[in-house]
């Protein structure tokens, strides 16, 4: 509808409908305003949920992370520095949301929530390293290698990855561990990071961009949902649905990230803005521009909601998280 209205507004400016002169550009603007207002209302539910889950999760992070007083002190300090540097805590929130939605009980979810945030943090520490993206700031603070040196940053990331799987072992769910390892490895996040590095400064098509976005970003989001669902004992049919939802919001998340890298400042993002263009990264805006990138993000949002329509449980939180993802500003 939005594209239709914009087309007519551009070509004729206005059209007569039932004897009344209507400016279609005005209608289009009003439609977009109402849509955004509704999305922001949905997103506010997610923001409240993320805030609550963050507080719960951070108590567990503190419990599960090694204390700084224990040797090697500097390594433990670096692990905690990155784990408590802020962030949306989206992945542990998705673990919890899926677990609760499918009626999960017990403490296994606490281990999984911490594990997923540790794996995400490990990926950020390594992504920021001089040999990869060479970023100076993350979440408004100096990156790990800037704060502690490159060697300590590498080991802090490694240690968080290993601790994450130690915690996953405590869940007692071998299939959840297997799925998580697969979506983290060469056929998942790490594989996506490798292709991203290889494509820097090269001409690529959308198929490659989608490949990078899915593996580098969406795979761990998808894994968060599947781990929560498996710990709750969800059926394989429901797990497939939740993975489809995760794939859609994960891809949307990365497209929005690409957009924000262009339209936001370093202060707003809490990390180096404009770095994708500077490094010649394979992104949606680089290939199709900002408007079509926004359209694709919204299509993925709609796809995520369609996937949730197949579930018989309460999907309110996951719907609100999808709205948050496409309306976020950092």
Q: What is the pLDDT of residue 271?
A: 65
Q: What is the pLDDT of residue 139?
A: 86
State the Cα–Cα distance between residues 303 and 209, nearest whole angstrom.
Answer: 19
State the Cα–Cα distance between residues 22 and 4, nearest whole angstrom.
Answer: 14
Phi-psi sector, 191: left (phi>0), alpha (psi -120 to 50), beta: alpha
Could you tell me how many residues make up the chain? 330
> For the chain, how many structural domains are there in total?
1
Spatial neighbors of 188 by CB under 8 A, at least 6 apart, are 182, 215, 219, 220, 223
pLDDT digit of tens for each residue in the chain (330 aa)?
333 232 223 332 333 333 444 455 554 454 455 566 788 888 999 999 999 999 999 999 999 999 999 999 999 999 999 999 999 999 999 999 999 999 999 999 999 999 999 999 999 999 999 999 888 989 889 999 999 999 999 999 999 999 999 999 999 999 999 999 999 999 999 999 999 999 988 889 999 999 999 999 999 999 999 999 999 999 999 999 999 999 999 999 999 999 998 887 767 666 666 676 767 788 899 899 999 999 999 999 999 999 999 999 999 999 999 999 999 877
Instruction: Name the strand (E) or helix (H) holding 29.
Output: helix 24-64
Q: Closest by alpha carbon to 125, among 168, 166, 75?
A: 75
Residue 209, preceding peptide bond in cis (omega within 30° of 0): no
What pLDDT digit, counting tens, does each position of 101-134 carry?
999 999 999 999 999 999 999 999 999 999 998 8
State the Cα–Cα distance between residues 72 and 78, nearest whole angstrom.
Answer: 10
Q: What is the CATH number of the domain that holds 136?
A: 1.10.600.10
DSSP 168: H
Q: What is the pLDDT of residue 32?
A: 52
Phi-psi sector, 106: left (phi>0), alpha (psi -120 to 50), beta: left
Q: What residues pair up with 59 in beta bridges, in sequence order?
A: none
Q: What is the pLDDT of residue 10?
A: 30
State the Cα–Cα distance between residues 296 and 173, nearest whole angstrom.
Answer: 36
Determine the structural domain holding residue 220 and report its residue range: 2-327
């Amino acid at each position: 509808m939005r594209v239709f209205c914009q087309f007519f507004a551009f070509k004729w400016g206005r059209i007569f409908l039932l004897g009344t002169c209507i400016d279609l550009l005005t209608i289009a603007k009003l439609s977009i305003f109402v849509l955004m207002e509704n999305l922001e209302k949905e997103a506010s539910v997610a923001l409240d949920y993320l805030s609550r889950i963050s507080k719960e999760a951070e108590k567990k992070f503190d419990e599960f992370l090694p204390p700084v007083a224990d040797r090697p002190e500097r390594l433990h300090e670096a692990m905690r520095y990155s784990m408590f540097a802020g962030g949306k805590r989206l992945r542990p929130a998705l673990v919890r949301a899926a677990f609760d939605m499918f009626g999960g009980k017990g403490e296994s979810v606490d281990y999984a929530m911490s594990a997923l945030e540790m794996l995400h943090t490990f990926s950020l520490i390594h992504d920021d390293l001089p040999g990869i993206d060479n970023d100076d700031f993350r979440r408004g603070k100096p990156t790990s290698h800037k704060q502690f040196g490159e060697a300590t940053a590498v080991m802090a990331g490694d240690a968080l990855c290993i601790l994450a799987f130690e915690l996953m072992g405590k869940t007692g769910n071998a299939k959840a561990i297997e799925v998580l390892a697969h979506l983290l490895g060469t056929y998942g996040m790490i594989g996506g990071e490798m292709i991203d590095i290889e494509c820097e400064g090269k001409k690529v098509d959308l198929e490659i961009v989608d490949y990078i976005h899915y593996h580098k970003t969406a795979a761990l989001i998808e894994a968060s949902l599947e781990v929560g669902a498996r710990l709750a004992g969800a059926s394989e049919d429901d797990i497939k649905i939740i993975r489809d939802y995760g794939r859609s919001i994960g891809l949307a998340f990365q497209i929005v990230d690409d957009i924000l890298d262009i339209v936001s400042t370093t202060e707003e993002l809490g990390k180096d803005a404009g770095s994708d263009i500077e490094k010649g990264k394979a992104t949606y805006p680089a290939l199709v521009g900002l408007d079509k990138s926004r359209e694709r993000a919204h299509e993925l949002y709609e796809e995520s909601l369609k996937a949730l329509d197949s579930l018989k449980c309460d999907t309110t939180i996951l719907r609100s998280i999808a709205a948050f993802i496409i309306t976020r500003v950092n």
